[in-house]
Amino acid sequence: MPRLPAALTLAALLCAGATGCGPKEQVDLTARVLFTANGSYDAQADIRDRIGGVLRRVAWTTRPPLDARAVTVRFDGNARTTIWEMRIEAPGFRAADLAGEGARTVRTPEGEAIHPTSGRLADVLILPTPGGLRLLSRGFVAEQEPALYSAFEQR
């Protein structure tokens, strides 16, 4: 019986007990939303364009990075990680799934919204829409839709 070189045998043994060597675990929903907002899936997008000034848009319709019919992200090209808006059409999840425990229902000029009070989405406002969800970062609201800003300060 042929023998494997010692380095390959060691690598095989290490991989057998490590979680990173087998099938990758599903990334949690919050992480996937943030990865989408920050550009991790842009290479798979159907549309990538500039929509005026520093605002840009990325959209997925054939293979959205989230469980949804379509996803569109508008963002500031100079500050994408903090200034973005995401529209999710026909999501396979609820706003409450994103918001987590302890989220607050807040009033906005566009109706009721959900504001997570902790976690990685604490600086995001989640607005239900007739066809899905709209997520807005605090930076996007401050820069593009200041009428919604008071939702971040409601107790």
Check residue 93 and give its pLDDT: 96
Q: What is the DSSP letter of 3?
A: P
Check residue 154 and give its pLDDT: 84
- Answer positive or negative: Cα dihedral of 42, 47, 48, 53: negative
Per-residue pLDDT of the chain (155 residues; tens, 9 = 90+): 455 444 444 444 444 444 444 444 446 999 999 999 999 999 999 999 999 899 999 999 999 999 999 999 999 999 999 999 999 999 999 999 999 988 999 999 999 999 998 999 999 999 999 999 999 999 999 999 999 999 999 87
Residue pair 141/153 in contact (Cβ under 8 Å)? The answer is no
For the entire predicted model, the pTM comes to 0.82
Check residue 24 and give its pLDDT: 42
Check residue 76 and give its pLDDT: 97
Residue pair 91/74 in contact (Cβ under 8 Å)? The answer is no
Where does the chain have alpha helices with state H?
A: 6-17, 29-38, 95-99, 138-144
Compute CA distances 84 → 10, 18, 132, whole Å.
45, 36, 17
Domain boundaries, the chain: 27-152
